[in-house]
Structure 1
Amino acid sequence: RDLTTITGQKPAVTKARKSIAQFKLREGQPIGCHVTLRGDRMWEFLDRTLSLALPRIRDFRGLSPKQFDGRGNYTFGLTEQVMFHE
C-alpha cells in the first residue's frame, strides 16, 4: 500500500525462487516488492526522491555509481518510507 501511494503504481510482489534454510526462507514465500517506472512517472519520482526524500535521511552520504547495471538501470533500496510525505 505504501509503495502504491509513493509511486502511483501497483507493485509486483517478489517471491523466493528457492528455499534457504539459513535465512528461514521457503520457495514461493513473498520477500519484497518492486515497481518499474517509465516516462513521466519515472522523472517525477526521481525529482521528488532527489530533492525532497533523500535529503531527509539523517546519515545520507549520496548515491553510489556502482548501483548501475550494464543496461543503464539504477537500483536502490529503502528500509523506511518515512521520508516520503505521502
Structure 2
Amino acid sequence: MLENYYKKVIQYDLINKFSYTHLDEIPKLKKIILNFGCKNSDIKNLASALFSLELITTNQGSLVKSKRSNILLKIRKGNPVGCVVVLKKEKMYNFCFKLISKVFPSLKDFKGIKISKKLGITSFSFTLKDLISFKELEKQFYLFINLPPLNIILVTNSKTREELIYLLHSFKIPLI
C-alpha cells in the first residue's frame, strides 16, 4: 500500500522537486533497522525484547553480542547486549505504514519527531519509549513492562539532507 504510494506519487514529486539524470538516483527507503540495547545481559530482559521485536515486525530477530568487554557496565566480551531486526522490501513498507497510521496517533502527547542537528545524509533514527501503543504488545502487556526504548533507523539512498527530509515528509512521517 505504502510502496504503491511511493511508486505512483512520491517518485514523481521527487523528480519534479530535484533534478535527476537516472532513475537510480531517486531517493528511496532501503531498509528499516529496529533494535533494543539492553543495559545488562539478563536473559529475561533479552528474551522479552527479542520476542517483542518479533511480534511487532513478524520477522525473526537476532541477538547482538558485545565486541569488547566493559568493566563499568559489567559486560564481558561475547555476552549478548541487545537484539536487532532488519526489515526490507514489502515488510519494510508494511511496518512503516503501521508506524504512521497506528502507532504515532496512539502515542500520548506526541507532536512529532525532532530533527537533530547531526542528522545524517542517508539515514534517520529516532527512539520510541512507549511501546504499548503497538497492538501486538498490548494483549500481553505484563510480559513487556520492562522493555528498553526501541531504536528505529530508516535507511535511504538520498544524496543530501534536503532529499532525506523531503522523502520523510512525503511518507507523512511527523517531523518538527
Superposed pair shares fold, TM > 0.5: yes
- For structure 1, which segment, 10-19 or 51-60, has the greater mean C-alpha deviation from structure 2 after superposition? 51-60
Which of 104, 113, 116 pairs up with 1:54? 104
* Equivalent residues of 1:14, 1:31 under 8 A apart: yes
Q: Which has the higher strand share?
A: 2
Q: By how many angstroms is 1:48 displaced?
A: 0.4
AA matched with 1:5:
L
Match of 1:74 in 2: 124
1:23-62, aligned counterparts within 5 Å? 23-62=73-112
Please give the secondary structure, in 2, of the residue aligned with 1:36.
strand
Match of 2:65 in 1: 15
Please give the secondary structure, in 2, of the residue aligned with 1:40.
helix
Please give the secondary structure, in 2, of the residue aligned with 1:35.
strand
* Equivalent residues of 2:107, 2:130 under 8 A apart: no
Aligned residues: 85
Unpaired segments ≥5 residues, structure 1? none
Matched-pair identity in %: 28
TM-score (norm 2): 0.42
Q: By how many angstroms is 1:80 displaced?
A: 4.7
AA matched with 2:79:
Q
AA matched with 2:56:
I
* Equivalent residues of 1:2, 1:81 under 8 A apart: no
Tell me how large the CA RMSD over aligned residues is: 2.1
Aligned equivalents of 1:50 and 1:64: distance in 2?
15
Q: Which runs of 4+ in 1 moved over 3 A?
A: 64-70, 73-80
| Residues 65/30 of structure 1: CA separation in 2 closer, same or farther (3 Å cut) | same
